Amino acid sequence: MKETVFSGKTLEDVKDEALKSLGVEESEVYFYVTKTKGGLLKKEVVTLHVITRDDLVDYVKEFLKGITKDMGLDVSFESKVRDEQITIKMYSDNNNILIGKEGKTLQALTTLIKQVIYNKIGEYPYILLDVENYKEKNEERLIRSAKKIAKEVAKTKVEAELDNMNSYQRRLIHNALTDFKGVYTESVGEEPNRHIVIKPKEA
């Protein structure tokens, strides 16, 4: 992964120098810090390792290209960044293999790339992998279903428990129903059995 290194006496000074030199905002970069202890007469040196978001995206694409090539797939990639979320769509001659049963291969690739990046920079960037529009369509179905259930809860005043979901799916539902009239949502349970309960609002 391409990175640029800056050194100085304090983290604040080094960070300012890095952002000015690269011509970017702090939200557009990832960084990790190493420190070198000085001797008796030398002060500690702060070293800042900076990775731009564009370089991170390129690294992810190359990493995925290697994995999918080993899977026997010819894959092309499309990426976009919105509100600090990195979305990478993959297109292949056999999308079913990339997706896997119930999306498990796609989820495994997402987990793997996040862990690889965390091992490098010490944080989990907000990365969403998709195969064409598979995940997008699933999310639309998930939200439609939740709204249908919410409408029934508002009508009957009887709460409804949804299936277990990961944190990303739960966030989608919470956001979709934030302003839904007559109901509110709560996440309950412990991972991996955490799920959303849609409850009626009292008049």
Q: Where are the beta strands (DSSP E) in 12-84?
A: 29-36, 45-52, 75-82
38-52 pLDDT, tens digit each? 555 667 888 999 999
Return phi, psi of residue 61, to 5°.
-60, -45
Based on the fold, state whether residues 64 and 90 are members of the same structural domain.
Answer: yes
Q: What is the distance between the alpha carbons of residues 104 and 111, in angstroms, rounded to a whole number?
A: 10
**pLDDT of 40:** 58
Does residue 39 sit in the same domain as residue 62? no
Cα–Cα distance measured from residue 77 to residue 90, given in angstroms and rounded to the nearest whole number: 5
- Residues 58 and 129 both lie in one domain: yes
Across the range 117-125, mean pLDDT stands at 88
Predicted structure pTM score? 0.72
**148 — pLDDT class (breaks 50, 70, 90):** very high
One domain for residues 143 and 189? yes
What CATH code is carried by the domain that includes residue 92? 3.30.300.20
- What pLDDT, on the 0 to 100 scale, is given for residue 93? 87
pLDDT at 16 over 80: yes
State which residues form the domain around 20: 4-52
**pLDDT score, position 130:** 92
Average pLDDT, the chain: 90
Which of 140, 138, 177 is closest to 197 using CA atoms?
A: 177
- pLDDT value, residue 187: 95
